[in-house]
Amino acid sequence: MPEGDSIFRAARTLDQALAGRIVASFETVLPALDRIHQDRPITGRTVERVWSQGKHLLVGFSGNLVLRTHMRMNGSWHIYRPGEAWRRPRRDMRIVIGTGAFVAVAFNVPVAVFLEGPAVARDPTLRELGPDLLASDFQAEDAVTRLRERGTMTIGDALLDQRALAGIGNIFKSEICFVCRVDPFALVSTLDDETLAELVTTAQKLLRANVTATSGGITTYRGLRQATGRARAEDRMWVYGRRGKPCRRCGASIQSMKQGLGARTTYWCARCQGETRSFEF
């Protein structure tokens, strides 16, 4: 599943390509979207902006209409020039938004709904989201309070709960806990407020480090997500995907185990994460 940094970068790229442009063509294989298009055509509208909220990507059109999409595990948005060959087969196409300069294609997007006017503010999925770690008005105190309310959950599961704070996925979950020396299987109720605040601050720092602005033009992100600050691809993660390899700090073997109802794989160092204190990265 794309994490908050990936969705943020995708929204930024789409905004650079589409914002301010008139929709020349619109196509979808999703009946609910097509019904809206047939009744109130998307063509002729202007794309006003594209933005992200947690793991949701939203496209705002003139006429007070917003397209909300969620990538889940396999969805993605691509940008092409008109006439350029797609890098995915047409059978994977779900939505096409075409302008005179660029074509945005959503592939295998499982969640896509149009929201009109006040419905955006009332949308239960968006309303339930916790503070967005990549939002300019992110409220760390609110995020800490929401984590505290999940006292019976393990901290690993609580960090993935988008109603607590929005944007963390399975990769960052493991990396955040390692950076803060927190056992990902510890109950939230066993962690003090200082530790929760540090987890939130670290989460924001790691996600923001992965959305550095591109240097002009319409570009897609081709780099690798990183948590350590190291340049080599094989050195960019502290623990994620490193089961059986030596911990970069203490040399102990990195462990992994399925966690939570979603059975997502968690990676950790039992030696380093036996204490809840931070280290610099």
Q: Pick from 93, 99, 79: which is nearest to 33 by CA?
A: 93
Residues 6+ apart with CB under 8 A from 221: 6, 9, 13, 214
**Per-residue tokens: 217:** 């033009």
Residues with active-site annotation: 2-3, 55, 264
Cα–Cα–Cα angle for 215, 14, 217, rounded to 5 degrees: 25
193, 143 in Cβ contact below 8 A? no
Map 55-81 to HEC letters: CEEEEEECCCEEEEEECCCCCEEEEEC
> How many Cβ atoms from other residues are within 10 Å of residue 143's Cβ?
24
